[in-house]
Amino acid sequence: MASFTTLTSRLVPLPVNDVDTDQIIPARFLKATDKNGMGDNLFADWRYNADGSPKPGFVLNDPKYNGAQILLAGDNFGCGSSREHAPWALTGYGFRAVISTSFADIFRNNALKNGLLPITVDAQTHRDLFDLAEESPQAEVGVDLASQTVALPGGKTVTFPIDGFSKTCLLKGTDELGYLLSFEKQIVEYELNH
Amino acid sequence: MTQPQTLFEKIWNAHIVAEEPDSPAVLYIDLHLVHEVTSPQAFTGLRQRGLKVRRPEKTVATMDHSTPTHDPSLPILDALAAKQIAQMETNARDFGIRLYGMNSAHRGIVHVIGPELGFTQPGMTIVCGDSHTSTHGAFGALAFGIGTSEVEMVLATQCLLQRKPKTYDVRVEGQLRKGVSSKDIILALIARIGVGGGTGHVIEYRGPAIRALSMEQRMTICNMSIEGGARAGMIAPDDITIEYVSGREYAPKGKAWEEAVSRWKRLPTDDGAAFDQSITIDADDLVPMITYGTNPGMGMRVTDSVPDPDRVSDPSQKLALSKALNYMGLQPGQPLLGHPVDVVFIGSCTNSRISDLRLAASLLKDRKVAPGLRVMVVPGSQEVKRQAEAEGLDKIFRQAGAEWREAGCSMCIAMNGDQIQPGQYAVSTSNRNFEGRQGPGGRTFLASPLTAAAAAITGKVTDARTLI
Ligand code: SF4
């Protein structure tokens, strides 16, 4: 897995609550048997018209936000289906972190396994970040995973929670399956007793 | 004396393989269900690492999401879907996994066939790369959806890394009234707690109204736990559970059965066990529910009016509601009763079992589908289909003017050719009303099989109690 240490980037504001994974990547794109190319279909129904032309009002089609690597989303991001295609689409597009006040459980798990950092902030910081992204689209924030902080322009720094295991995995780019395979002895023992 | 434990804690504790400090637990998985959409990349991962499936006999695969529901003798026209289905066949063959494939008499929606074949049993840990794995919790199993990376982990190790979730006690008191079903209980719960209300929790549904439900109705409730943000929903096993599992193909037999039943009887939550959160709902107060918005939490009594964003104080919720009503083409304050619909879909892992079809048929018998309306009835499995046909339900549906299809996810997910057209309204017995879920631009009202059947007859959103 790709590691995550620090990231300095502009924000892409998407002030929508309860963004479900069907919006992140609609089901008709789940027929792929590999992980590639999902980024082109990220937010497909909000991003493109039926004929494939870009919808001008959608934030990913706004040149101001081109190249930004942090998605700033509304509350409860990633609810709904368990599809890991959602983080594949987000990372495929170029996002490396998502900031929200909360994340759905399965989405959070899936994101962490793909080097995509889910950053939970309090409601006030969340509002401040939206103000920043909308008023100064060029402003950058700095994410530092080791210290679990987001630094806003102007000197404000906020911390975010992450469990120690996920943090270490992200920092080192640890392969979780490799870690799990190291429990072979205990698994054999469990199977013998059950 | 040992501390009183919840159903969840008993199963969790019994499946811990290892627990290192500051790390998630290594949890053993008893049953891994697999389908064609969320597994191909996991098998690719195994091949790249040169790994085998550790316990193929604990792994069961089917095809349901991208499979068409038309006449099975016709070819699959969608090349990508055909490729995905072929890939599932190859993966099952290469890794020695039991597959209920396209020609299997037992194929169906993964959450319908697991219980039907007796794979799903009380006390188990069950996972699938599918969020509605919560369905199996109805048997008193700990069952939850996982991502594809986790599918790969379970295939390789039969284990998962899991942090212990919190517990949520949902008590349903009283007794359901006529025309009100378990779908209405769960829609009412989600309308109350919201789509994120259960995040980080496992729900246990308790109380007299839950105990009175059949297994199929219990599955409907647990199925939609994820729609309230909870990864899993559970109901303690009782005589109804044991009676359902008994005699099924993969249920234990003979002495093993006796032993299993005595184990299962020890599973229910102990008196005095503590939950992290709780809520009580009174079944006596419930009426048929319907959703008006673009997530399952935007639900109301079918007799209510659509809420007004101007009356919502929280700015982001106000925005969410306006956006939803705009997508749905609905006005604040308008009643939904009488709202015209274009499509009625009776199916999905929430409501496609035989009792759901019987309910719908009871209303459609000797009646006609409203002119111009498309009504699709899609059984959850080929077994449900056979049973329905043996009872003559297919004839009732056909004579009324509804389509009777092959088993599959169908219009619940619209990735198999079954979908509603942009701007159309559907009353659907499925579980998600997200934008575009049933087809780009399509608008979904989620409701019970009775409410769906009532809409099929009138062509409008209808209070089914007026037709019973
Ligand atoms: S019926 Fe719908 S919700 Fe259920 S497994 Fe299929 S696609 Fe998922």
Q: Please state, in angstroms and rounded to a whole number, the distance separating the CA atoms of residues A55 and B377.
A: 35
Distance CA B192, CA B203 (A): 14
In a domain, A96, yes or no: yes
Q: What is the mean pLDDT of chain B?
A: 97
Report residue B72's pLDDT band, with 50, 70 and 90 as the boundaries. Answer: confident
Q: Distance, in angstroms, between B368 CA and closest chain A CA?
A: 33
Q: Quick check: is A14 in a domain?
A: yes
CA dihedral B187, B192, B196, B202 (to 10 degrees): -70
Chain B stretch 285-314, residues whose beta carbon is closer than 8 A to a beta carbon of chain A: 295, 297
How large is the average pLDDT for residues A46-70?
96
The number of angstroms, rounded, from the C-alpha of B451 to the middle of its chain's C-alpha atoms is 18
In this complex, the residue of A22, A105, A109 whose CB is nearest that of residue B437 is: A22
Q: Please report the pLDDT score of residue B413 as a whole number.
A: 96
Min Cα separation A39/chain B (Å): 16
Domain residue limits at A71? 6-193
Flag whether A104 is in a domain: yes
If contacts are CB pairs under 8 Å, which of residues 391-420 in chain B contact chain A? 413-415
| Chain segment B40-51, per-residue pLDDT in tens | 999 999 999 999
> How many Cα atoms within 13 Å fall on the side-chain side of residue A137?
13
In a domain, A1, yes or no: no
> Which strands form B232-234's sheet, in the order they lie side by side?
B232-234, B201-206, B166-173, B277-282
Element (H, E) at B289: strand B289-291
Q: Which atom of ligand 1 approaches the CA of B350 most closely? A: 4
B41 reaches A (C-beta below 8 A): yes
- Contact between A76 and B199 under an 8 Å Cβ cutoff? The reply is yes
CATH number at residue A16: 3.20.19.10
pLDDT at B1: 56
What pLDDT, in 10s, does the model give residues B96-105? 999 999 999 9
Confidence at B73, pLDDT banded by 50, 70, 90: confident
Mean pLDDT to the nearest integer, A10-24: 97
Residue B2 has pLDDT above 90, yes or no: no
Question: Is B135 a residue whose pLDDT tops 90?
Answer: yes
Average pLDDT of the residues in B100-120: 97
What pLDDT is attached to residue A175?
87
pLDDT value of residue A52: 95
Residue B345 to residue B427: CA distance in whole angstroms: 6
pTM, full prediction: 0.97
CA distance B82 to B102: 11
What total of structural domains would you count in chain A?
1
B331 pLDDT more than 80: yes
Who contacts B13 (Cβ-Cβ below 8 Å, separation ≥6)? B5
Instruction: Pull the structure tokens for residue B37.
Output: 């959409």
Is the CB–ligand 1 distance for residue B418 below 6 Å?
no
Mean pLDDT of B250-266: 98
- Mean pLDDT rounded to a whole number for chain A: 96
Q: Which residues contact B461 (CB under 8 A, 6 or more apart)?
A: B290, B302, B336, B337, B338, B339, B341, B427, B445, B451, B455
3-state secondary structure of B169: strand
Determine contact, residues B298/B312, Cβ cutoff 8 Å.
no
A148 belongs to a structural domain:
yes
Q: Tens of pLDDT along B214-229?
A: 999 999 999 999 999 9
Asked, for residue A27, whether it belongs to a domain, the answer is yes
Give kind and range of the element (H or E) at residue B290. strand B289-291
The amino acid at A159: T
User: Which pLDDT value is given to residue B75?
Assistant: 86
d(CA B77, CA B295): 31
pLDDT for B74: 86
Per-residue model confidence (pLDDT) at position B77? 87
Mean per-residue pLDDT, A115-139: 97
CB neighbour list of residue A185: distance below 8 Å, 6 or more residues apart:
none
Query: Strand (E) positions, B154-273?
Result: 159-162, 166-173, 201-206, 232-234
- From CA A129, how far away is CA A117, in angstroms rounded? 17
Ligand 1 within 6 A of CB of B346: no
Would residue A106 count as lying in a domain? yes
Assess if residue A147 is contained within a domain: yes
- The rounded percent of chain B whose pLDDT value lies above 70 is 100
Residue B250 token pair: 């993969």
Complex ipTM value = 0.96
Query: What is the reported pLDDT for B368?
Result: 98
CB contact under 8 A, A20 and B66: no
B288 close to B179: Cβ distance less than 8 angstroms? yes
pLDDT number for residue B159: 98
Mean pLDDT calculated for residue range A92-107: 97
CA A83 – CA A97 distance, rounded (Å): 18
> Does residue B366 surpass a pLDDT of 60?
yes
d(CA B287, CA B446): 14
Q: Rounded to the nearest whole angstrom, what is the distance from the C-alpha of residue B38 to the centroid of ligand 1?
A: 12
Distance from CA of A141 to the nearest CA of B (A): 23
**Angle subtended by helix axes B215-223 and B182-193, to nearest 10:** 20
